[in-house]
Structures are given as structure tokens and as C-alpha cells.
Structure 1
């Protein structure tokens, strides 16, 4: 496709025509993400890190125990656990959406199923839900975060890494949920010290404040 022509077309549109669009990305993808444009992002971030572009910066990276909640929470089965058939379907759909149809796809799918099955409790629907959540969390958040931290540390640059487990129960989260994506934000920015807000309605305990 002619990228230049597409950009010119977009520039001719009124802003309202753009902001009113309902963009639905493929599952497990984002609608708008960073791209290597040669300006704001001049090259692949991994290459930039290898070239020492970030050596003078300390970085803090963190992940939450249940980052992938949104991919499990919208399942109609999720409240009472997940059936074996739904688990198999979800893993297959996950592989198809992220990797297309490469040679060896079946091996990849079966490997994921094997690694994310609790063989000591394989017939437990709640455990299947937990391991499926772990799959999404590991692939979409943990693996990229760890890779970034390790690469930065290879050049003796200070790296601070945290894992967040605390789950503040609210009506917006199912009782079985772990610390989901974004749940660490009020703690990173000190919200427990000022108390609950409309945005963060948790009843923070004294331990939260400490």
C-alpha cells in the first residue's frame, strides 16, 4: 500500500471523523502502538539499547501477578473456572492470532498446553483458569519486561525490577483475580497515603500505607 497516500488522506479528514472511529484490533494486539518511524523511534528499541542509547538512565520495571486478567475475565466460563475444551480453544486462538500459521504451529500449541497445565490438578477448572492467566501474563508482559531489564543490565546500567502481588478487592474485579494490569499504579504513586479516591476506590489498610 502507498503509505504516503494514506497519510495524506487522513490529513484531509476532520478530526471528529477520526476520533469517532471504533478501532477493533485483532485479539492480543493493540490498536495503536509504537512504530519505528525514524524520528520519534529511530530504530528497533533493542538495537538502540545495544548501541548504548540508554546507558545513562536508571530504569524501574515492574510486572503484576495477573497482568493478563482482561483476556480471561471476558470468558463466560471464567467465574467458575474454565473447561478443558475452552482452554484448548483459547490456546489455539492465542497461537493463531500472534503467530499466524507458521510451520510447526501444532508443536507450539501443544508445547504451550503442556507447559501451562498443572498436571497434579489437571481436571480443576479453577486451576485451568489460573494457568491460562499465567500464560497471558508471561507472554504479553513478563517476558518483554525481563528481556528489557536483562539487556539494560548487560551494560552495567542500574535496573530495578519489582513484582506486584497485592490485590485490593473492589466491585470492578472478580474475587478470584490476582493483581491485574494497572493495579500497582496507586501504590507506585503513593495514593494509600491520601486515602481512597474516585479513581482508586480501595479501602487502603495501614499495611498498604506502610
Structure 2
């Protein structure tokens, strides 16, 4: 309804119904992808921006059978009817919001999971996003998408509460291997392969464990699905500009060694470093202006434009992407390709 309202009223707001761009980050990026797939909404906008996720991330959508079972479990835990009948919804609405929120996490059965998420309902999502993408049943348009350098580290620290933030790499060997096993979906064979691949990537033995956990979790949860979506969408004739945001702002409250965490590019996209009283460096303010220019030019034309550097479209031959950072925005190739090849062989349930 919101998208329809925007399209119907764009002219009255000084815009154009033919130049509407939707964008989101994390779960919001997956939602943008769902709108690209959905026959109910794909014609209500023009371009799409997906930051740090895609509709094919394994956690982004649930099957109806699994969701029904989880709803029944949640209902039972708060003394509501287990059957999906007319009495269920009024009962859940009457439950204390905090209790309902707390109880939903009892439904989670893996280290990173969404208790109750979007489902394939046969209407908004006629079938699973991966199947629709493979069939080419998706809006063909301009897409700006990408990831942050350290997508996984935040989630590792929410998972392992006994890892002190003031000590980089503070994990013992047993804890480290257990977390890798959890990231590997409790698949011991995949765990062994991950340790082999990621150990080669990080040479510093002192920091290797935490860097492996960051990279492995970030790849499995976000980066590989973004790169895979870019590849498949390009093969279908879609136009993709891919990026990696690699600048940690001096105003960021997390310890410096944690890097460029998921979600913190949003501050730059919305111009927070330019606010009065900002403590950010001039280089960070300049980067903010550049990123805002990229996002707005893409929204206007479908192509991100900046400075003297040409941002090439992603192609399956060269796999070009842009590194966004204060020390110079540059073009690179094959984002996480070696590590993502390992994840491509694993099917999450």
C-alpha cells in the first residue's frame, strides 16, 4: 500500500512515478529483493538498492510448514490456542509485548536465525526466492548492492558473550572450533573445509581466530548471497553495480579492531558526519558527500556517478566492484570469490 501511495502521489511531492528507488539494509535489503520478485509490487518502483543482504540469504525466508510449527510453539508458550484458527490472533495480541518478544527467541535452533520471518505465501511470494531467481521471474532493472568489510564480527560477539570486547582475538582453541562448527551449520566436514580455506587467508596467528570467525560468519550470512545474487541477476540481463564499504568512522563507538561493522554505512548514506557538532574528520565528511552523491545519482539515473573513477557494472567475466573508503575509492575484482566457492556447496535447510 505504501509503494502504491508513493507512485500515485509522486508528482504531487515533486517527484516522478517513473523514477522511484527503494532501498534497505540487512533484512531491509532482503525485503527490497522480495519486492523485485513479487508480482504484487515489482511494477511500483524503478530502481533498487540492497545493502548487506539479498532475498536469497538463507535466513531471509521460511517455509510455511516450519513457520506454522513455530507459531504453534510460540502460542503454546504464552497459553494461546495452538491451532491456526480465528482465536489465535486475538489471543496473541492480548499477550504482553515484552513477553511475546522474549518468547520468540525460544524458537531459534541455530546460531543465527530469524524466529518468524517472511514466508512463501503463494501470492506476494509465489515460490521460493531462489527458484524465482533461477527461473528469471524477477523485475529487470538497475541494482546497487554491496557489503561492509566486517559483516560478521558483530554477530560473533552477540553469540559468544564471554569474549571481551577490549581484547582482539580473545578466544581459546575449543571455543573457536565450536563457533566455527556453529557457523558451519553443525556440519563437521564443512567445518574442516572452512578452517582450511580461511586459515590461508589470515596469516597473523595472533589475530587469526577472530578474523576467521568474522570472515566466515560474514560470508555465510551476507556477503556470499549478495555476490551470488549479483551474478545470477546479471546473467538474467539485470544491471548491477557492486560495492564493498571499507571505512570505519572515528565516531564509531565500537573498538577500533572490530573494523567496519554491518549497518554503519547507513550513517554515511544519511549524512550523519555532516551534522553540526560532528567529530568526524574532514576526510570522513568528504567520503560522506561522495557516498550521498553515489546513492542519489543512482536513484535519479540508475547509474552511480562520482569523480574521475568510473564504476563499471558487475559482469560474470570480470566481477568488478568498487571499494569505498577515504584513502581512495578504487575498482577491484572478484569479491570473496574463493571463500564463497566453499559456501556454494552447502545447502542450508
TM-score (norm 1): 0.79
CA distance in 2, matches of 1:47, 1:127: 37
1:117 maps onto 2:188 in alignment: no
Let me know the Cα RMSD of the aligned residues.
Answer: 2.9
Deviations 1:56-87 (A, max 9, x none): 32212111111112222243335241332221
Aligned partner of 2:182 in structure 1 is 93
2:235 maps to which of 122, 135, 154: 154
Distance 1:13 1:177, change over 3 A: same
Aligned partner of 2:263 in structure 1 is 182
Describe how 1:10-21 pairs up with structure 2 within 5 A. 10-17=88-95, 19-20=97-98, 21=100
Deviation (angstroms), 1:130: 1.2
Aligned partner of 2:163 in structure 1 is 77
Describe how 1:49-68 pairs up with structure 2 within 5 A. 49-68=133-152
CA distance in 2, matches of 1:121, 1:50: 37
Distance 1:139 1:172, change over 3 A: same
Question: What secondary structure does 1:32 align onto?
Answer: coil
CA distance in 1, matches of 2:140, 2:203: 47
Question: What secondary structure does 2:180 align onto?
Answer: helix
Deviation (angstroms), 1:172: 3.1
Question: What secondary structure does 1:172 align onto?
Answer: coil
Aligned partner of 2:41 in structure 1 is none
Distance 1:41 1:120, change over 3 A: closer
TM-score (norm 2): 0.50
Deviation (angstroms), 1:187: 2.2
The 10-residue stretch of structure 1 (171-180 or 136-145) with the greater mean CA deviation from structure 2 = 171-180
Deviation (angstroms), 1:120: 7.2
1:41 maps to which of 107, 121, 125: 125
Equivalent residues of 2:153, 2:213 under 8 A apart: no
CA distance in 2, matches of 1:68, 1:166: 15
Relative contact order, CA 8 A, sep 6+: which one is greater?
Answer: 1
1:107 maps onto 2:189 in alignment: yes
Distance 1:154 1:171, change over 3 A: closer
CA distance in 1, matches of 2:155, 2:270: 26
CA distance in 1, matches of 2:157, 2:92: 36
Aligned partner of 2:210 in structure 1 is 129
1:207 maps onto 2:286 in alignment: yes
Deviation (angstroms), 1:204: 5.3
The 10-residue stretch of structure 1 (130-139 or 79-88) with the greater mean CA deviation from structure 2 = 79-88
Question: What secondary structure does 1:6 align onto?
Answer: coil
What number of residue pairs does the alignment pair up? 198
Equivalent residues of 1:165, 1:179 under 8 A apart: yes
Distance 1:203 1:84, change over 3 A: same
Structure 1, unpaired ranges of 5+: none
Deviation (angstroms), 1:153: 0.3
Distance 1:91 1:156, change over 3 A: same
Question: What secondary structure does 1:169 align onto?
Answer: coil
The 10-residue stretch of structure 1 (170-179 or 6-15) with the greater mean CA deviation from structure 2 = 6-15
Question: What secondary structure does 1:116 align onto?
Answer: helix
